[in-house]
Every structure is written in structure tokens, then in C-alpha cells.
Amino acid sequence: KSKLQTKAIGRHIVYKKEVTSTQDIAHQLVQEGAEEGTIVIADKQTKGKGRLGRPWHSMEEKGLWFSIILRPDIPPQVAPQLTLLTAVAVQEGLERATDLPVEIKWPNDILLRGKKIAGILTEMHSELDRIQAIVVGIGLNVNQQKTDFPEELSAVATSLSMEANGKVFQRSDVIVSVLEKYEHWYYKYLDQGFFPIKKRWEQLATTIGKEITAKTMRKEVQGIAEGITDEGVLLIRKKDGTLESVYSADID
Ligand code: BTN
């Protein structure tokens, strides 16, 4: 049932019991010329990386920690599109595998009942204004229980199992579902560009149409989230009527 049927995404799978971070291994493989669609997956990460230099708690074998190597022929400025594409694939893949109400929050948070269920970290290799490779890291909390999370995360993080009354999910079913959706959206993207992804993302993202506060490194922007641009930038309509673009921020 959980057999991977994808053609390109997951064509090569590198599986490790324990790594510092699957991103580290994937970056190394990129240097060695790894093919598009190569996936690095580990049971445990001793130094899982989150966005903005934060740690990502992934010492448990109960989650899914993996990185996908992509080699799209796109300019570096549009690389954030891949993060949004990933969010769509993860949302659809998780919802299909579990029937739970999974939400997307800009730019790359995947939430379940308001708590973080998955994280996405997109890192790129570029040279002379062309992308050589993009390494998309995905962390999915699957079978952890409350006590598996460190104290400081218990209010903000959750797992599929915790949200499904303790049901234990087969991790292979979950990753297969996500990778199938990934392949679908990635090839649609290469074929038709960002537009279909942007439309789907705007449907799925709970951020859109709501009053939000975006905290960037330098300031806070308050207003209604109107949508995203082709670069994956969030557009916020402020009280004074002006539109502000936010590239990277935490959203409340
Ligand atoms: C975030 O929300 O801050 C992003 C978290 C990304 C975590 C995944 S787990 C697999 C891959 N390897 C890492 O070290 N990080 C990503």
C-alpha cells in the first residue's frame, strides 16, 4: 500500500539511521553531482536545522526528517516559490494520509489546530545568478506524544498522532503521500510556472484575508494579508491603505 510510485522524486533514496542534519548530507551530495529527486532521510537528527538558524527538534525516530534535492532551471530570486510549492505538497499529502485539518501559514509553517505539525527549510546552491540546486528540508511530526517534545515546545508543536487521539501512523504511508503530491506539483511548476501553485496556496493558506502582524528582523508590519507575489513575497495592506511587501517574518 505504501509503495512509492513517483517517477523522479525519490528516484534515489539515501537512508541513514542517524545524522547531524539531512540537509548537511544533501548539500554534500549536491557537490558530488546528485541527481534531481534524490532524497536523504534519517531516523534521527542530532543537529536538526530550522529556519533562521533555529534548532529543529528531531532526535526522535517518531517523525519524518528528510531533504529533497532539486535542480530547477530558475533564477535565485524566485527560489521562495519552491518553499510555497512544498507547503502545498505537504498540506495535501498530510491531509490525504490522515484526514486531519492541516493548514498552511505563510511562509512555510504547516499547522494542525494552530500548532506546528511540519517545518520546511529551503536552502540553495547558486552560482553566477543561476541555481545549481535547491535542497528542500521537510520535518514532519508523526508519532511523537506530548512527552517527546521538550517543555518549551509543548505549547506550539504537535504531531499527527497527538491530533488523532494517539493513533499511530505508518511513517512510510505518510511520506509516500507527501512525495506523490510533491511530484505532482513540482512537475506542474516546471511545466506551467508558478501560477497554479500560487492559486492553490492562496486557497489553502489561512493567513490570506486575515488581519496579521508580521515581525521582520527590523520591524513589525500590521494589516490584512492580501496575497503573495510571484516571488512568494507576502503582501500586507496596512491601515493607511499602502501595500507592504514582506520577504521574511514571523506571523502572529
Ligand atoms: C522550520 O520550520 O524552522 C524548518 C524546519 C525544517 C526541518 C527539516 S527536518 C529535515 C531537514 N533537515 C534539517 O536539519 N532540517 C530540515
pLDDT tens string 152-207: 998 999 999 999 999 999 999 999 999 999 999 999 999 999 999 999 999 999 88
How far, in Å, from the CA of 7 to the mean position of ligand 1? 24
Spell out where 106-233 has E strands: 109-112, 115-127, 130-140, 211-215, 220-228
Does 45 count as an annotated binding residue? Answer: yes
From the alpha carbon of 138, which atom of ligand 1 is closest?
A: 8
Does 210 count as an annotated binding residue? Answer: no
SS3 124: strand
- CB within 8 Å of 158: residues ≥ 6 apart: 112, 113, 115, 116, 117, 141
Are β-strands 39-45 and 13-19 bridged in parallel, bridged antiparallel, or unpaired? parallel
Q: Is the CB of 21 under 6 A from ligand 1?
A: yes
Q: Which domains does the chain have, with CATH numbers?
A: 13-204 (3.30.930.10), 211-251 (2.30.30.100)
Q: How far is it, in rounded angstroms, from Cα 247 to Cα 252? A: 15
Q: Is the CB of 6 under 6 A from ligand 1?
A: no
How far, in Å, from the CA of 229 to the mean position of ligand 1? 24
CB 139 within 8 A of CB 56: yes
Q: Is the CB of 139 under 6 A from ligand 1?
A: yes
Q: Say yes or no to pLDDT of 65 above 80.
A: yes
Mean pLDDT of the chain: 94
pTM beyond cutoff 0.90: yes
SS3 content of the chain, % helix, strand, coil (to 5): 30, 30, 35
